[in-house]
Amino acid sequence: MASIALGEVLAIEVGRALLQAWFLVRFAQDRAEDSAFFFYRSTGCRHVEALVRQLRELRWEADARPDEERSRSWDSVRSELQHLSRLLPLVTQEEQPLAWLRARAEWTRGGRLWRPPRCLLPESEVVLTNAGVFRVVVSPPVCRAMTSFAVNVICLPHAALRDLRLEPLRMEESSVRRCLRVSVGTPHTQFELRWPYHEGEEAAVLQSGQPGFPSPASTAPR
């Protein structure tokens, strides 16, 4: 058995695929990054979602100050975000959406039985809030014609964000040309995430000068 200090939590991930679900927490320990992971039956998702929401309230709500200039409701972004229902169970009471980015699923053409289409980029959505950053990823199905049942959500707190940038990106055979680079960690340990996207509120992302986010000057594209 081990204990994890709330102040050392860097990221939380939750997801499900049919009857299987999972929970992952990444944290800083002894000047290094560590993680804890477990599977559970998806029938218990509402209990884990309540746990994540409570953890976010304890760990991160100090940064969730209302943004009077850019105040928005979750209903105002409902038409733009197809997977908002995956986020709302994890959202804290004072949390507000600020900006979003979205990536469409992309597949190769394939064309032969022994060379079927393969997924180049899964469908995903990124939402920046006044309490952190969410990313929802829909895992690609085995083949394009099938329905995907696997979804993963990652939650990052303001306090753990070291840098936030929009950068050029080139992916072979893909039309995506940009990515959001997120640096997460503490002064002693750090890791980076690169999230490709096709469209979204880039200007709002660059203006995210909320507590815990880097200043707008540090988020300018290179």
Q: Mind listing the pLDDT tens digit for each residue in 147-186?
A: 778 999 999 988 888 888 899 988 877 888 899 999 999 8
d(CA 36, CA 17): 19
Would 1 be classed as within a structural domain? no
Phi, psi dihedral angles at 44 (to 5 degrees): -100, 15
Quote the number of domains for the chain. Answer: 1
Q: What is the pLDDT of residue 63?
A: 52
The backbone torsions φ and ψ at residue 187, rounded to the nearest 5 degrees and listed phi first, read: -60, -20
Q: What is the residue range of 55's domain?
A: 7-107+116-217
| 33 falls within a domain | yes
- pLDDT tens-digit map of 108-146: 877 666 677 888 899 999 999 888 899 999 988 777 777
Query: Residue 14 has what pLDDT?
Result: 96
Tell whether 222 is covered by a domain: no
Q: Give the DSSP letter of residue 147.
A: P
pLDDT at 193 over 90: yes
Instruction: Specify the pLDDT at position 112.
Output: 65
Q: Determine, yes or no, domain membership for 149.
A: yes
Q: What angle do CA 38, 42, 47 make, to 5 degrees?
A: 80
Cβ neighbours, 10 Å, residue 204: 16
List pLDDT tens digits, range 38-67. Answer: 999 988 899 999 999 988 888 765 455 555
Is the predicted pLDDT of residue 202 greater than 60, yes or no?
A: yes
- The pLDDT of residue 18 is 86
**Which is more confidently placed, 182 or 219?**
182
Identify whether 2 is part of a domain.
no
Burial class of residue 14, CB neighbours in 10 A (0-12, 13-18, 19+): buried
pTM for the structure as a whole = 0.85
Assess contact for 214 and 163: CB atoms under 8 A: yes
